[in-house]
Amino acid sequence: MNAPLASPPVVYADESSNSGQNLLDPDQPVFTVAGVHLSDELAASIVDEVSAQLPPTQGEPKYGSLARSSRGRKALMRAFEQLPEGSTRSFLVHKPFMVMTKLVDVLVEPLAHADGFNLYENKQALALAELLHMCGPVFGDAAAYRQMQQAFVDWVRQRVSTDDLFAAVAAYKKSIAVQHSDFVEYIELLEYCRCVANETAADLAAGEQRDLLDPAVTSIYCLSVSFRDSLGQFRLIHDASKVIDRHATTLSRAHLLPDPARPGYLRPAATQIDFADSKAHPQLQLADWAAGAVRQWAAHSAVGGDDRFAQGLERVVRPWLIDAIWPSGPES
């Protein structure tokens, strides 16, 4: 008689500061997702210990409420200290920088591909996005650069026309200082992408490429690949998410899609994805805390300030970070 098949390992994931496709929300410059692979017993023990230190009227202790009080911050740090090495992982997104990576992906890469050039090889697409992000507000008018970014986001969200998008590109190009005239060529490259933009606008109007700018799908995929490398096939339980639910089938079949950077290479499967209420799983509460802590540290890194708790989180959360969409690393 054959032995019953063992249940696959389970990873629990949650997000922090997802503003959807509104990547330029000034109050939420950073997005994070965190995953936790932990036994039920240990997870419940950690969560119960935190809950015991809070007023009985607290309710479910979310990261935001815990991080606002001295008692809550101490409880969080104690909880994080009990997480075994490798049990917690996170993916991080700098939203304004993601705007430029998407602009390159959506407009420039298809044009390059049509000419037989693989812009993803050797991370050239990422390098171009970083050049635009770092030099754009410096070599030209910063306000015009931000208006170009906003126009791209609004165009993807079908709030402005393709004419409006390229008017913003032209206005920014006009603002570039004479001493940086070489940089104009990179903005003219965007202008050459008008034909690609026309085709993409038609796709967007037809309901294709939905959630194109939402960071959640990319982040969950990268997090899943990281856990799969160590766990093999596993089940992912995510806190309620309409976006992940819409793309769950695509994520579970991602290994069947060709990798544009390495033709012929099949990427690892994401995994089976299910959804649950965080109140039913202490691991989901821990994932909420982990995602919130990474987001608070990274937001402090991005905008600065005197948040001592965020500074103290660095030694805890940095080992969790598997990767990021971030200009020159999250310490920038």
Mind listing the pLDDT tens digit for each residue in 136-181? Answer: 999 999 999 999 999 999 999 999 999 999 999 999 999 999 999 9
Which of 185, 205, 225 lies at the terminal end of a domain, its last residue? Answer: 205
Mark whether 121 and 31 lie in a shared domain.
no
Mind listing the pLDDT tens digit for each residue in 199-212? Answer: 999 999 998 888 89
Which of 205, 220, 254 lies at the terminal end of a domain, its last residue? Answer: 205
Mark whether 254 and 198 lie in a shared domain.
no
Of 110-119, 203-212, 229-238, 256-265, the poorest mean pLDDT is in: 256-265
Mind listing the pLDDT tens digit for each residue in 34-50? Answer: 999 999 999 999 999 99
User: 24 vs 269, which has greater pLDDT?
Assistant: 24
Whether 53 shows a pLDDT value over 60: the answer reads: yes
Mark whether 199 and 251 lie in a shared domain.
no
Mark whether 254 and 191 lie in a shared domain.
no
User: 289 vs 253, which has greater pLDDT?
Assistant: 289
237 within domain boundaries: yes
Mark whether 270 and 128 lie in a shared domain.
no
How many domains are contained in the chain?
2
Mark whether 261 and 173 lie in a shared domain.
no
In whole numbers, what is the pLDDT of the chain averaged over residues?
89
Read off the tokens for 185.
């060529």
Mark whether 80 and 223 lie in a shared domain.
yes
Whether 330 shows a pLDDT value over 50: the answer reads: no
Whether 329 shows a pLDDT value over 60: the answer reads: no
Read off the tokens for 175.
């603002």
The pLDDT, as a whole number, for residue 259 is: 54
Tell me how far the alpha carbon of residue 228 is from its chain's centroid.
Answer: 18
Whether 192 shows a pLDDT value over 50: the answer reads: yes
Mark whether 127 and 273 lie in a shared domain.
no
The pLDDT, as a whole number, for residue 332 is: 43
User: 27 vs 262, which has greater pLDDT?
Assistant: 27
The pLDDT, as a whole number, for residue 200 is: 96
187 within domain boundaries: yes
136 within domain boundaries: yes
Phi, psi of 325 (to 5 degrees): -100, 95
Mind listing the pLDDT tens digit for each residue in 94-150? Answer: 999 999 999 999 999 999 999 999 999 999 999 999 999 999 999 999 999 999 999
Per the structure, the complete domain to which residue 56 belongs is given by 10-94+212-325
Mark whether 149 and 128 lie in a shared domain.
yes
Percent share of the chain, pLDDT over 70 = 90
Per-residue pLDDT band for 29 (boundaries 50, 70, 90) equals very high
